[in-house]
Chains A and B, each alone.
Chain A
Amino acid sequence: MDQVHNMQSLYEKLSDVNSFFEYGQKLIPTIEKIVDFMKATIPLLENVNNSILDSTSKLPKAALQINSVTNATEVAVTEILDVVDGASSDLTTIISKLESLRTRLDSQKNSIQRLTEKYPDDPDVKDLVANGLNPEVIHEDYSAVISLADKIQVGLMNITISLQVQDITAQQLASANHLMNGIQTKLSSLLFDIGNDGEKETSAEKKVETKGESAFNADARYDRDHNSQALVDSLVADNATQPSQKEIDELFSKK
């Protein structure tokens, strides 16, 4: 009885093995397709790998270039500010000299007035008044020059205001650099995941130092329409009208 049972169990096992081989035979074409697919994919993956490697190696150079743009514009802006300061200082001197010239002219005008009053019929005096220095005309010229100097002064100040764009763009560039730094880190870890450890180390070594997030405002904008300042003014005014903690404490202590 045991022998019959053992034979039956053996037969069942053999039947299972047979089914396994039959299933295996059916599976072979699928496995072959997978192997073919993988063979075709390897060059593609190598291409992806090389592209990532290439992009990662170029990022530090781009970051350096951005840093050098920021430094170069800062130097250029400083030079422009030097020129503007020099011109502004010269203009102040010119205005001051003109003021002193006007004072002397006023004094001269009084002298001519006195001369005319003293010698109303003297032909030389008449000639001097008619053809000599005419304080009225000189006063007009003085006013015109002063007005022009004021205009130049305003222009120089506008240049200074516009130069604030350097700080704003520097913050935008720092933000871009920070973003590129993040991309480089991601790509480096991707290289590591697909087994390019050496390249990852090289890439990390090449990483360019960038400013921390606290050092720039990614939303910095060069906006001269003063909308932001209007918002500030309204919020500051609201803040000023709100009672201070001290006032609240005083109010409660009276009760």
Chain B
Amino acid sequence: MALKFLVVDDSVTMRRIVLNSLKQIGHDAFVEAGDGREALGKLQADDGINFIITDWNMPDLTGLDLVKAVRANPKYETIPILMVTTRGMKEDIVEALQAKVNNYIVKPFTPQVLREKIEQIIATPVA
């Protein structure tokens, strides 16, 4: 299945690095958003998006709030969500998992880690 990513981060630098990493590991379809609210709009406007990569700390609507909003919509109940963030405390990771992110990466990351997590998510059967 071809993946189309929604990459959400308020940092232009980070969005660029995530996109470069995705290109490097063989993905070239993506949409960008600068915060959670913009991401929700882009998600609703584009039915082709089938994978979300989101930061946590963002203005307006945070990544965690975005995950909760996405999961609250039955249409996106099973869409894969990968959180890529600077937050590496145990309670943060647990909170994200409870909000039903599929996997979690702590910045700084390598393209290899990104590939590994995407592959893990895709290989895991939907509950």
Task: With CB as the reference atom, state the residue of chain A lying closest to B24.
Answer: A157
Size range of the chain A interface in the assembly = 35 or more
Enumerate chain B residues within 8 angstroms of A216, measured Cβ to Cβ.
57
Report which of B9, B20, B59, B111 forms a contact with A212, defined as CB distance below 8 A. Answer: B59
B109 & A164 in contact (Cβ 8 Å cutoff): yes
Contact with A along B89-127 (1 / 0, CB 8 A): 110011001000001111111110100000000001001
B57 & A236 in contact (Cβ 8 Å cutoff): no
Interface size, chain B (Cβ < 8 Å): 37
Enumerate chain B residues within 8 angstroms of A7, measured Cβ to Cβ.
none
Known A-B contacts A74-B13, A81-B20, A217-B86; the reply to A235 vs B109 at CB < 8 A is no
Known A-B contacts A160-B20, A235-B97, A244-B127; the reply to A217 vs B106 at CB < 8 A is no
Contact with B along A202-224 (1 / 0, CB 8 A): 00000000011011110111111
14 new A-B contacts, CB < 8 A, other than A157-B111, A215-B57, A228-B106, are: A74-B13, A78-B13, A161-B108, A163-B13, A164-B107, A167-B9, A167-B14, A171-B86, A217-B57, A220-B87, A229-B106, A229-B109, A236-B104, A239-B97
Contact sample, A vs B, 13 pairs, CB 8 Å cutoff: A77-B13, A161-B108, A165-B108, A214-B58, A217-B87, A219-B89, A220-B87, A220-B107, A221-B86, A228-B106, A229-B113, A232-B93, A236-B93
